[in-house]
Structure 1
């Protein structure tokens, strides 16, 4: 009798250990691409929130992001920029508020767009909302001195700048 009880105890212990080590057949997270971190950058009277993708050895412009096609200028959902005061963005007046920022990459210049519909899930939704564009400006595409691994926004005095891979785009910004 003692050996039967001991045998059953070992069987239950082994079964419990096995069930704890066996991963779920298809965990929900395994079906999703990794999310780029959401970060913010601030300058005088302006703040931007964006998903920060990494280069990870890929060719970005053109390649991952073809020339002439709309880009949400970040990852996961639209990049949203908040102006705390009325501003001049690329020489055009913009009221204080929050806007989705999109770009159309080009070989020599980018079209930078502010759209009044924020928190868009991606470029496909932009097509439904492009009539809500507030501003479209052209900005030259410049080469960076070194490769920039992660998409990065900054606000040096008088500009909004973003850099990624070998590309730098600067839009004049005044308050």
Structure 2
């Protein structure tokens, strides 16, 4: 009887040791540029979305905007993966029709205007493999300068009488990208 208790205790200890090593997963720390989303309509209770954008939010943390999103160079419009924009219905950027679907949102920052690019490539890290041949739409948008400062890059959709506007904000820079149905 005593021998079977010792064996049972040894088996139990071995099982605990094995289960601890199986469950001891190494999870990554919080990303320095966390993933975020903006969608329209903005109300989370409204499941009938028109458009959604997924992007990571880089932070200036004392650096300049032009250091992280250089003027004249294609930018992923955020950090990490290139921003992904999903149109749930056909939309227009300027006069160019964009069919419902998933696309990559790139921008080319500039001092006075930004070029907005909708590209058919998907699952892209950064802008390293950007291919202009896959552009679906481009539009130059004037830059405005705000009074308030935003440290973490942000996007939000707003609505006007005729447009759904994707607003980009970082530092004091603002860009309002108009989409129409």
TM (norm. structure 2) is 0.74
Q: What secondary structure, in the 3-state scheme, does the structure 1 residue paired with 2:75 have?
A: coil
- Indicate yes or no: 2:100 matched with 1:100: no
Instruction: Say whether the 8 Å CA contact 2:52–2:85 is kept in structure 1.
Output: yes
- Indicate yes or no: 2:137 matched with 1:132: no
2:172 to 153, 166, 173: 166
State the match for 1:38 in structure 2.
35
Residue-by-residue CA offset, 1:142-169 (whole Å, 9 max, x unaligned):
1122111111111100211110111100
CA distance in 1, matches of 2:34, 2:94: 28
CA shift for structure 1 position 64:
2.7
CA shift for structure 1 position 115:
0.5
Residue-by-residue CA offset, 1:26-46 (whole Å, 9 max, x unaligned):
xxx79xxx5411111111301
- Indicate yes or no: 2:43 matched with 1:50: no
CA distance in 1, matches of 2:150, 2:139: 24
Size of the aligned set, in residue pairs, is: 143
Alignment RMSD (CA, Å)? 1.9
In structure 1, runs of 5+ residues without a counterpart are 1-28
CA shift for structure 1 position 173:
1.2
TM (norm. structure 1) is 0.76
Instruction: Say whether the 8 Å CA contact 1:79–1:119 is kept in structure 2.
Output: no
Alignment of 1:22-33 (within 5 A): none
CA shift for structure 1 position 172:
1.1
CA shift for structure 1 position 130:
2.0
1:84 to 80, 83, 88: 88
CA shift for structure 1 position 63:
2.7
Question: Which has a greater percent of helix?
Answer: 1
State the match for 2:72 in structure 1.
68
CA distance in 2, matches of 1:91, 1:105: 21
Instruction: Say whether the 8 Å CA contact 2:93–2:138 is kept in structure 1.
Output: no
Divergent runs of 4+, >3 A: none
CA distance in 1, matches of 2:67, 2:128: 19
